Amino acid sequence: MNLAHGGHLTHGSPVNFSGKLYNIVPYGIDATGHIDYADLEKQAKEHKPKMIIGGFSAYSGVVDWAKMREIADSIGAYLFVDMAHVAGLVAAGVYPNPVPHASFT
């Protein structure tokens, strides 16, 4: 996710190690402030990444993990979920559990 849209520094920001070693193509949010899944799918089909990163540090929406999995599957990519910022909410049962949809967390 684009850092300006609530993403995390460790998910490909140019100031981070991951942004220096890997070609990260960030996805963003739409006009309603939710993840733009249509654009994410379009970018995934165009760039064909080996892995899609689902996770954030300042995004206040609820991620549709099944949709993320569907997009990853459509191009044969792994879905890596960084759930550090929502793990407590998942454990409390108030946020959708990404684990069943993730290739790894």
Confidence tier at 49 by pLDDT (50, 70, 90): very high
Confidence tier at 56 by pLDDT (50, 70, 90): confident
**pLDDT over 90 (residue 92):** yes
Q: In this predicted structure, what is the pLDDT of residue 41?
A: 97
**pLDDT over 70 (residue 25):** yes
**pLDDT over 60 (residue 82):** yes
In a domain, 65, yes or no: yes
Domain count, the chain: 1
The tokens for 15 are: 């100031």
In a domain, 104, yes or no: no
SS3 25: coil
Q: Which domain holds residue 17?
A: 3-91
**pLDDT over 80 (residue 17):** no
